[in-house]
Structure 1
Amino acid sequence: MDLLGLISTFIRVVENGSIAAAARARGMSPAAVSQSLARLEAHLGVRLLSRTTRSMTLTENGKRYFDKVRHIPDDVALASQAAANATKPKGPLCIATTAAFGRYVLAPLMPAFRASFPDIEIELISTDRNVSHHLEGVDVSIRIEAQLNDQLIARKIASFPFIFCASPAYLDRAGTPQTPEELSQHDCLVFRYPTDRRFLPWTFRVNGQRVNAKLNPGFISDDIDIIAKIAVNGGGIARLASFVALPWVESGLLTPLSWSGHSEIDIESLPMDIFACVTERSAPDSKARLFIEFLEDAI
């Protein structure tokens, strides 16, 4: 009996919520999946799933069994990978990254990583939604603080300053704010986090106190490149990570704001912290570790 195969099928049924969905994920027929479940239950001598024509739920025995075996396929895969990579890292490495970081920072570094580790097959997912490491086969995700959660092991790898900037034409027309409080009197170009529709706050430390500036959104977008181009064309003030803003600033199309003109007020813009995240299961993967160390050194 292929006990590991039966366990893997059971796990897929629970994770996908139905026999039909698990069959598609496993490349099996629904009948074969049902037979696998029946063989596993017969082997254990307990019922794992309560099934009707309309629903499927774990029994109490099924819940306990699932909690104990859910990591077994990953453990086996990691053991196989560790044996295969004992001498030279190779095989697939799936990296998920926020869109702007992937475009401006990660993509230019990928050829150098590939040159150093030619046997690693890289897949890069660039998106601002929250990806699932398990369901989407992600080995490492690059996230900002707002995307962290308790299911991931996060390692801070970099901090990038935010640059508050606007076009010269906008500042000539609307004036230049001297303090974060004055931002409420301007058109602010605000990034809306696509997963839960929150505005990402413009956060400062003013005289040692953390403060979120009150904003007057002139435009709202979930695409930071759109925000940058609206700013370039006189649409308002944008808060851009330095790796997005600097090319526009250096070309003269955007002018950075400065908060240092008030000696009586200590104003500091908090940076964008970048984290490399893995799951507890994928943490020992040598390819993931090599990539994170490479990224830290490169940045």
Structure 2
Amino acid sequence: MDNLRGIESFVKAVEGGSIANAARQLGITPAAASQNIARLEQQLGTRLLLRTTRRLALTEGGKIYFERVRQVIEDLDMAQTALFALNDRPQGRLRVAVSTAFGRHVIAPMIPAFSARWPDVSVELILNDERIDHIRDEIDVSIRFFRPSGAGLITRKLGDVPIIICASPDYLARCGTPREPEELKHHDCLLFRTPYDGRLLPWGFFRNGIRFEPDLHVSIISNDIGALAAMTIAGAGISRLGAFLARDLVAKGDVVALFTSGSAASGAEADPEPLDFHICVQDREAMLPKVRLFIDHIVDEWKKRPI
């Protein structure tokens, strides 16, 4: 439909009884409305309206054409009204993809409050650590512990999550307690392989403002953080866990936090590098009200809860 503006001007003119009325409805000048109709007639190769000083009259062809296209314009107006209503009241499905462990322990508890406030929005929470495509996978929002890349992708840093290096009391009783990261090469280390790129997640530390990665003796590898936590509790070795998962385990005595302040030799203290989480949408056009409200909700909840 190459001449939609001409069709709109024609239909509004017939319904309103004049080109001036059509122009007012469309927010354009009468001259512009008249030109739109003239271009439409030229494109169709037939006269649609007989213009007189007092009123408009439809030609025979104009009558046939008007009956056919009037419903099209009505449908377009109804579609636009429906979109405006959707923008005014958030509703419909909202698909949210989140890294598995983080989604289970941090994001999932935040969603009920959002659903209670916006009951017309149906949230689908998808937990996985794979690389996702917002368009292909029909994802509205993603939250990842790495910064995803993609054409037009808009990312916003949500925040940092502290890391706890830990082991079970049983393992430490058997194998000794490392006092600084450099001693990890003499211990069994449990590493996470990131499903989105197949690489082992590095164990970064900061000491006196300088980042470094110590040598590690890799004992077990898994692509699931929950499995690594279970093996750590069972005494398999030392693992690197997000604080949202490890804090409760430390509090219950299932694991012991290593390299905490005061535990290392003087001058040797090192802090584990935190994970930074990003919240992402495909592009600015994807920032629908329900998406914007969900992001605002997660950001607000993040500020309230210690991660």
* TM-score (norm. length: structure 2): 0.68
Equivalent residue, structure 2, for 1:199: 200
TM-fit CA distance, 1:265: 3.2
Equivalent residue, structure 2, for 1:297: 300
Q: Deviations over 1:43-102 (max 9, x none)?
A: xxxxxxxxxxxxxxxxxxxxxxxxxxxxxxxxxxxx888623332211111100111111
Given that 2:163 and 2:240 are in contact with CA atoms closer than 8 Å, whether structure 1 keeps it comes out as yes
The count of aligned residue pairs is: 223
More deviation in 147-156 or 235-244?
147-156
Given that 1:179 and 1:259 are in contact with CA atoms closer than 8 Å, whether structure 2 keeps it comes out as no
TM-fit CA distance, 1:259: 4.4
SS in 2 for 1:86: helix
Runs of 4+ in structure 1 off by over 4 angstroms are: 79-82
Residue type of the alignment partner of 2:149: N
SS in 1 for 2:87: coil
Given that 2:181 and 2:259 are in contact with CA atoms closer than 8 Å, whether structure 1 keeps it comes out as no
1:252-267 alignment, distance < 5 Å: 252-260=253-261, 261-267=264-270
SS in 2 for 1:107: helix
Q: Give the root-mean-square deviation of aligned CA atoms.
A: 2.0
Cα distance between partner residues in 1 of 2:246 and 2:92: 36
Cα distance between partner residues in 1 of 2:2 and 2:125: 34
Given that 2:154 and 2:284 are in contact with CA atoms closer than 8 Å, whether structure 1 keeps it comes out as no
Equivalent residue, structure 2, for 1:133: 134
SS in 2 for 1:136: coil
Equivalent residue, structure 1, for 2:281: 278
Q: Deviations over 1:163-194 (max 9, x none)?
A: 11100010111111111111111000100011
Determine which structure has more spread, i.e. the larger CA radius of gyration.
2
Describe the shift of the 1:97–1:81 C-alpha distance in structure 2 as closer, same or farther (beyond 3 A): farther
Residue type of the alignment partner of 1:264: G
Describe the shift of the 1:166–1:135 C-alpha distance in structure 2 as closer, same or farther (beyond 3 A): same
Cα distance between partner residues in 2 of 1:162 and 1:141: 21
Cα distance between partner residues in 2 of 1:142 and 1:133: 12
Describe the shift of the 1:82–1:255 C-alpha distance in structure 2 as closer, same or farther (beyond 3 A): farther
- 2:219 aligned with 1:227, yes or no? no
Given that 1:166 and 1:255 are in contact with CA atoms closer than 8 Å, whether structure 2 keeps it comes out as yes
- 2:163 aligned with 1:166, yes or no? no
Equivalent residue, structure 2, for 1:105: 106
Equivalent residue, structure 2, for 1:149: 149
Cα distance between partner residues in 1 of 2:82 and 2:174: 60
Equivalent residue, structure 1, for 2:52: none
Cα distance between partner residues in 1 of 2:148 and 2:242: 19
- 2:294 aligned with 1:288, yes or no? no
Given that 1:232 and 1:253 are in contact with CA atoms closer than 8 Å, whether structure 2 keeps it comes out as yes
- 2:65 aligned with 1:92, yes or no? no
- Structure 2 residue runs without a partner (length 5+): 4-79, 303-307
Given that 1:201 and 1:213 are in contact with CA atoms closer than 8 Å, whether structure 2 keeps it comes out as no
Identical-pair percentage: 43
TM-fit CA distance, 1:286: 1.4
Given that 1:191 and 1:222 are in contact with CA atoms closer than 8 Å, whether structure 2 keeps it comes out as yes
Residue type of the alignment partner of 1:102: G
More deviation in 113-122 or 83-92?
83-92
SS in 1 for 2:215: coil
Describe the shift of the 1:174–1:118 C-alpha distance in structure 2 as closer, same or farther (beyond 3 A): same
Equivalent residue, structure 1, for 2:125: 124
